[in-house]
A and B are shown apart, each in its own frame.
Chain A
Amino acid sequence: MWAFGRVSGFMSLALFTVSVLLGILNRSGRPLLVLPRFSISILHRNIAVLATVFLGLHVGSLLLDSYAKLRPVDVVVPFLGSFQPFWQGLGTVALDLVAAVVVTAFLRHRIGQRTFKAVHWLTYGIWPVAMAHAIGNGTDAGSAWFLGLAAASGVAVVSALLWRLSAAFLETSKAREGNFL
């Protein structure tokens, strides 16, 4: 259970990273190589769902593990844990927010674009929280392969974010500059 909890946590973070990157790419309105825009959209969703499944396995397996000493209340309320309450609490925060993002994403057509968008924006906050939880709480946080992958994901997400904030982000940004002269 302990090993499984570690691996599933890592898988979840890696998949969430990919999903965040695809989400930003999706927002730009650009297709990726051979992938059309709607495929990126579906891929973004499916990878996020898969990441959520791994997150469920991560929490579920550690809840059953005697070594992790996780109580049911730790799944919902952060910073009450017995071991490294702060770093573990970050994981709880991420879990709760991911639940909100996933539920609102599936109810997008019912709750409307505005609410969906407001909650979906939380993702930009969740990713660093989840990463901090992995680095601060993870057993493998000291190993080179983990740090390497964490650094690579960090660079990827930060560059995607800078691209997102740049003027040339939208596929149609050039056409929409407005050449009135």
Chain B
Amino acid sequence: MSTTLHIDWTRCDGRGLCTELLSGVLDRDDWGYPVARGKLGRERTDVPIRDGDREAAQEAVSLCPVLALSLQERGVRMAAVEGTRRRG
């Protein structure tokens, strides 16, 4: 089962805590917002998390000052992902 870190862009304010905790996964753009390293499109919003980074990702979820992060198991979110894809 693979895990993804979902970034709610309507909440994210680019405070930078997650980019510190997950520096190998997330880069920071000029405005402070997290950008998944080497990822494009959907995977910038639902960032794949390897098992080794899972603990750091959990820390990021609990410490995000604006509650913009959540961890999701691939299987659970599949339906929601399909829904957005159809709309483009």
B residues near A42, Cβ cutoff 8 Å: 63
Contact mask for chain B residues 9-24; partner A; CB cutoff 8 A; 1 contact, 0 none: 0010011110011000
Shortest distance from the beta carbon of B33 to any chain A beta carbon, whole Å:
9
Give the residue of A27, A29, A38, A176 whose beta carbon is less than 8 angstroms from that of B63: A38
Give the residue of B11, B30, B67 whose beta carbon is less than 8 angstroms from that of A108: B67
Shortest distance from the beta carbon of A64 to any chain B beta carbon, whole Å:
37
Shortest distance from the beta carbon of B56 to any chain A beta carbon, whole Å:
10
Max chain A Cβ within 10 angstroms of own Cβ: one of B15, B21, B59, B63: B15
- Complex Cα gap A50–B49 (Å): 34
- Complex Cα gap A26–B66 (Å): 12
A109 near B20 with CB under 8 A, answer no
Q: Which residues of chain B (1-48) have a CB below 8 Å from chain A?
A: 11, 14-17, 20-21, 30-32
Give the residue of B11, B16, B60 whose beta carbon is less than 8 angstroms from that of A29: B16
Shortest distance from the beta carbon of B73 to any chain A beta carbon, whole Å:
18
- Complex Cα gap A112–B11 (Å): 12
A171 near B32 with CB under 8 A, answer yes
Shortest distance from the beta carbon of A113 to any chain B beta carbon, whole Å:
5
Residue A172 is within 8 A (CB to CB) of chain B in the complex? yes
B67 near A109 with CB under 8 A, answer yes
Q: A29-B16, A38-B17, A38-B20 are in contact. List 17 more A-B contacts (CB 8 A).
A: A26-B65, A27-B65, A29-B32, A31-B20, A37-B15, A37-B17, A37-B20, A38-B21, A108-B67, A109-B67, A113-B11, A171-B16, A171-B32, A172-B14, A172-B31, A175-B30, A176-B31
A selection of 17 A-B contacts at a CB cut-off of 8 Å is A27-B65, A29-B32, A36-B20, A37-B17, A37-B20, A38-B20, A41-B63, A42-B63, A109-B62, A113-B11, A113-B67, A171-B16, A171-B32, A172-B31, A172-B32, A175-B30, A176-B31
